[in-house]
Amino acid sequence: MEVIKIILVDDHTLFRDGIKSILDDEEHISVIEEAADAQMLFDKLQNQHPDMVITDISLPDMTGIEIASKINKLYPDIKILILSMHNNEEFILSALKAGANGYLSKDIESAELLEAIHSVMNGKIYFNKEISQTIINNYRGGDHVDSKSSANINLTDREIEVVKLVGEGFINKEIADKLCISIRTVDAHKSHIMQKLGLKSTVDLVKYAIKNKLIDL
């Protein structure tokens, strides 16, 4: 297994030290740099190319959401994991739309942080349980919609399978393997689904899967 190279971004030295001490105990994870703000991070990215950036959402010069958006444009192969004390749905979905691959509460256990890192590196979107519950509670606050709702009537059984797998965080290759179809066919299904439902992105598909109870978080 290749070593996962990580840059930590947080303006609190004590918090960075705590995360680093956890990750330093892992054989296949290496914290190659630390940064106290966005400017320091992007200066370091000119000379270092990590596999992942783990960042707080609240920084002195830029938010973690803005960092995710900028990294997604400049370094699209770098994974982004956000750690935050802000667990409302607006922050979570804004982070995903900006290109973050995962969103975690700062009070998680170390084992879950490690699980999130490996899940994200395997191409999945990761929420910890508390974050997932925030999203679920938001949708439960509205009208109940089950998986057989009218919103799903125009989708074929195969398309619903694809939506479920997208919502569970599987990438196209994994979906293709699970359904025994080609990656090109997965792309075609996703394109048709988004046209039918009037959606614009994979994040919208994830939200649709949650809202229509197609996945169990």
Q: Residue 70: which CATH number?
A: 3.40.50.2300
- d(Cα 26, Cα 39) in Å, to the nearest integer? 28
pLDDT over 50 at 19, yes or no: yes
Q: Is residue 217 part of a domain?
A: no
Based on the domain organization, do 163 and 198 belong to the same domain? yes
Based on the domain organization, do 47 and 121 belong to the same domain? yes
pLDDT tens readout for residues 195-205:
888 887 777 78
Q: Say which range, 9-13, 34-38, 72-76, 96-100, has the weakest mean pLDDT.
A: 96-100
| Number of domains making up the chain | 2
Based on the domain organization, do 23 and 101 belong to the same domain? yes
Determine the structural domain holding residue 148 and report its residue range: 144-211
The pLDDT score that the predictor gives to residue 130 is 64
pLDDT tens readout for residues 120-147:
998 888 877 666 555 555 544 444 434 4
Is the four-CA dihedral 71, 73, 76, 82 of positive or negative sign? positive
Among 138, 160, 186, where does a domain finish?
Answer: 138
Based on the domain organization, do 116 and 159 belong to the same domain? no
The pLDDT score that the predictor gives to residue 135 is 58
The pLDDT score that the predictor gives to residue 137 is 56
The pLDDT score that the predictor gives to residue 133 is 56
Q: At what angle do helices 110-121 and 13-24 cross, to 10 degrees?
A: 70
Among 78, 106, 138, where does a domain finish?
Answer: 138
Based on the domain organization, do 150 and 127 belong to the same domain? no
Q: Is residue 216 part of a domain?
A: no
- d(Cα 107, Cα 85) in Å, to the nearest integer? 8
Based on the domain organization, do 39 and 110 belong to the same domain? yes
- Its pTM stands at 0.66
Among 138, 166, 188, where does a domain finish?
Answer: 138
Write out the two tokens for 116.
């999130």
The pLDDT score that the predictor gives to residue 44 is 96
Based on the domain organization, do 187 and 153 belong to the same domain? yes
Q: Is residue 127 part of a domain?
A: yes
DSSP-assigned letters across all residues of 141-202: TS----TTSGGGTTS-HHHHHHHHHHHTT--HHHHHHHHT--HHHHHHHHHHHHHHHT--SH
The pLDDT score that the predictor gives to residue 22 is 93
Q: Is residue 170 part of a domain?
A: yes
Residue 125, amino acid? I
- What is the average per-residue pLDDT within 208-212? 76
Q: How confident is the model at residue 17 (pLDDT cuts 50, 70, 90)?
A: very high
Q: Is residue 86 part of a domain?
A: yes
Q: Is residue 114 part of a domain?
A: yes
Residue 120 makes CB contacts below 8 A (sequence gap 6+) with 52, 79, 81, 101, 102, 126
The pLDDT score that the predictor gives to residue 131 is 63
For residue 6, list its beta bridge partners.
31, 52
pLDDT tens readout for residues 57-103:
889 999 999 999 999 899 999 999 999 887 777 778 788 888 888 88
Specify the DSSP element, H or E, that contains 78: none
Q: Is residue 46 part of a domain?
A: yes
Based on the domain organization, do 92 and 176 belong to the same domain? no
Residue 97 makes CB contacts below 8 A (sequence gap 6+) with 201, 203
- d(Cα 150, Cα 4) in Å, to the nearest integer? 44
Q: Where are the beta strands (DSSP E) in the chain?
A: 4-9, 29-35, 52-56, 79-84, 102-105, 126-127
Based on the domain organization, do 111 and 163 belong to the same domain? no
Based on the domain organization, do 14 and 78 belong to the same domain? yes
- d(Cα 177, Cα 183) in Å, to the nearest integer? 8
Based on the domain organization, do 176 and 102 belong to the same domain? no
Based on the domain organization, do 101 and 200 belong to the same domain? no
